[in-house]
Chains A and B, each alone.
Chain A
């Protein structure tokens, strides 16, 4: 009994090459016009310089050199990576048990309402959702009022806002739905008999999840990491609103440079963010190809 896949029948050609590529035209126009061209402009800008608020076509590495010469910028870069990693980890750490619980224990008819609850925040604007955290974490916010009412403190505590932990908290709140939806769609297709088989063969429930469930939903986990980590890396509104001076991220630097008409320096910093994203995608490139993950 040999079940090696049959060789594929050779594909028939669809006439002249020009005709067969025609269907790709819209995609090429979209991708080129809205992605490649702007990216090219940013790349070129990052190697030019600004003199008297004007972009001058002088080729230089000065923008990059400048960024790495300012300690505060480099520190912000590392802090941004740190915040992104932590916020992504917490988002997935919360979303995985949620998706597991939802797809394993919640009856099918209750899943849709619960998923809608997860998505409901998207019906309000991003800004509103971030500002609403001010009313919870702020000096006259819900949390402080509660603590004062409960007699735990007598003066409002400023600690809750304007630092990295506040930024991480709000980022987790903002990106949890992305992680939850991605993981759910992946775990939902899992054959639970496999988990039962692992336990039947002597694995504890946690071991079965780690050895059997996690490897099989790895593409979903990687997708969730990418969906959450990449936007967080470029975040600038949340750190600006709830982070204050203590929560500055690399996205704020880009905004600051552009507002100060330092377009070329801003472009260089943007490319640094893109570089980190590229590195992330390279690390995960194997896990992203489904055949690899499923051994098919």
Chain B
């Protein structure tokens, strides 16, 4: 049994040292999929790799799983170097996007495949297969073949199969991508529960920011082979490090501004409050739609932005109002919740927009992301 969970005692350094990628580069011919990625994934955390397609998140997953080799750099798991090991010798298991279940085997045989490869047989194997099927709630369906299961059930089988060897790390490659929204949300909850129950490090690849936000302890936002930002969902949403991150996670309004001390000078000369470290001169101001307040234009504080409503949309939990301002190149989106949202503001009304300084984040100007 080579690939069961590594006992605590063999971990060198800090007990929380999970996976470490050091200066990992991956090139395919002239294409650079990853440029010098340094990544530290803690033991036991639910870690999300988030980004648009082609950002290098799946490449990162495949590097950890051993399905591709890094062009340069090293990969470490609990203090041991693993980038030189073939996939079947790494204590890492994968849930594939296509599930990759074995169609000629029953559910039990699928789940037990990893044990059979480790020559675990008899009552021990039966007990662990039952345990794994119980974990995903499929005890009753062990004798079916994958073709007789629904998409959600197949997905659960794939999770049970990958967890049965008690890997140090579970890799999940967009495992919910093929399912419809309702089922996806239910399985998100289930996966989080399973993660809490088994305590294994989960590395989860997705392009769906809501999925990442709802499950992850920490998120790594990637773009074009570069790690844009690493942080908790809260940090990434509230304090995005770049315009790309702010745009990719949630909705955001962007304004071209000139920073003068602790105020932002807008295109029409309005001096508005902002918070932002260190940036001087030309910059991008980011305000979330829910941070914008609609105020009476005749009673607006200095620094408020004046404009006209373009359109109001009722979206169930909120009302979205588009406001055309001279200071902004595109209409600004305002989200109204609760009491504010009781009446839809009619179009072409004069309004003013106001925000608190801590809600207006100064980012490096567009085109100069780090």
- A207 contacts across to B, CB distance below 8 A: 117
- A188 contacts across to B, CB distance below 8 A: none
Select B93's contact among A201, A204, A216, A293, beta carbons within 8 Å: A201
- One of B34-42, B148-156, B346-354 contacting the partner: B148-156
Are B100 and A197 within 8 A (Cβ)? yes
Q: Restricting to B89-125, which residues have a CB under 8 Å from any CB of A? A: 92-94, 96-98, 100-105, 113-114, 117-118
For the complex formed, measure the closest distance between the CB of A87 and the CB atoms of chain B, giving whole angstroms: 29
Are A295 and B103 within 8 A (Cβ)? yes
- A203 contacts across to B, CB distance below 8 A: 88, 113, 117
A193 within 8 A of B: yes
How distant is the Cα of A295 from the Cα of B146 in the complex, in angstroms? 8
For the complex formed, measure the closest distance between the CB of A213 and the CB atoms of chain B, giving whole angstroms: 10
Knowing A1-B153, A3-B150, A191-B98, the reply to whether A202 touches B118 (Cβ < 8 A) is: yes
- B161 contacts across to A, CB distance below 8 A: 197, 201
Q: Interface readout for B301-317 with A: 1 if CB under 8 Å, 0 if not?
A: 00000000000000000
Knowing A1-B150, A1-B153, A296-B147, the reply to whether A200 touches B102 (Cβ < 8 A) is: no
For the complex formed, measure the closest distance between the CB of B30 and the CB atoms of chain A, giving whole angstroms: 15
Knowing A196-B96, A202-B3, the reply to whether A296 touches B145 (Cβ < 8 A) is: yes
For the complex formed, measure the closest distance between the CB of B23 and the CB atoms of chain A, giving whole angstroms: 25
Residue of B nearest to A212 (CB): B102
Residue of B nearest to A201 (CB): B114
- A1 contacts across to B, CB distance below 8 A: 150, 152-153
How distant is the Cα of A161 from the Cα of B54 in the complex, in angstroms? 58
How distant is the Cα of A193 from the Cα of B158 in the complex, in angstroms? 12
Are A293 and B104 within 8 A (Cβ)? yes
- A199 contacts across to B, CB distance below 8 A: 86-88
For the complex formed, measure the closest distance between the CB of A59 and the CB atoms of chain B, giving whole angstroms: 49
- B92 contacts across to A, CB distance below 8 A: 200
- B113 contacts across to A, CB distance below 8 A: 198, 201, 203
Q: Restricting to A209-223, which residues have a CB under 8 Å from any CB of B? A: 212, 215-216
Q: Interface readout for B72-88 with A: 1 if CB under 8 Å, 0 if not?
A: 00000000000000111
Main secondary structure of the interface of A (DSSP, over half): helix
Are B103 and A204 within 8 A (Cβ)? no
Knowing A202-B88, A202-B118, the reply to whether A295 touches B96 (Cβ < 8 A) is: no
Knowing A202-B2, A202-B114, the reply to whether A194 touches B102 (Cβ < 8 A) is: yes
Residue of A nearest to B183 (CB): A1
Are B117 and A193 within 8 A (Cβ)? no
How distant is the Cα of A270 from the Cα of B94 in the complex, in angstroms? 55
How distant is the Cα of A215 from the Cα of B103 in the complex, in angstroms? 10
Knowing A197-B94, A295-B145, the reply to whether A204 touches B88 (Cβ < 8 A) is: yes
A152 within 8 A of B: no
- A72 contacts across to B, CB distance below 8 A: none
Are A3 and B149 within 8 A (Cβ)? yes
Are A193 and B147 within 8 A (Cβ)? no
A294 within 8 A of B: yes
Can you offer 16 A-B residue contacts whose CB atoms are under 8 A? Answer: A3-B150, A196-B100, A197-B94, A197-B96, A197-B100, A197-B101, A197-B102, A200-B88, A200-B92, A202-B114, A203-B88, A207-B117, A216-B102, A294-B103, A294-B147, A295-B103
Residue ranges of B at the interface with A (Cβ–Cβ < 8 Å): 2-3, 65, 67, 86-88, 92-94, 96-98, 100-105, 113-114, 117-118, 145-150, 152-153, 161-162, 165
* 17 other A-B residue contacts (CB within 8 Å) besides A201-B88, A212-B102: A1-B150, A191-B100, A193-B96, A193-B98, A193-B100, A197-B94, A197-B101, A197-B161, A198-B113, A201-B114, A201-B117, A201-B161, A201-B162, A202-B117, A203-B88, A216-B104, A295-B147
